[in-house]
Amino acid sequence: AWAGAAGYLVPDLLRAADPGCVAYKNMALTAYNRVADDVRDGRSRAQLARDLAAAITSIGSAAADSRSAATTQSLAALSGDLRALHEDVQADRDVPRALLLSLNRKTRAADAACGTVRL
């Protein structure tokens, strides 16, 4: 049983040790969660734009730090959606629901690429 558990967890632990994943989980994910809170709570567009800029920078930095192609790709895709959201917010356009759903999918993909274990 222990060998099976180790076989399941070791790949996730190795992915989690990637420098890009460490940066993502430490700073970038917190910045992303601020954006999600802003959207959920209906905060001002100015606040949302500031938090989006911070999340884009943090996630971009995490992608640059990564040594894993899969992690770099997933973080870059997440950053791309955040940039699209930022453009909509700055232009005072309604944010498409499809973009918000895409952000959720890309966050789950970044979590998977970084070995986030959900028990």
pLDDT digits (tens, 9 = 90+) for 36-53: 999 899 999 999 999 999
Q: Say how far apart CA 76 and CA 41 lie, in whole Å.
A: 26
How confident is the model at residue 5, as a pLDDT?
A: 52
pTM for the structure as a whole: 0.82
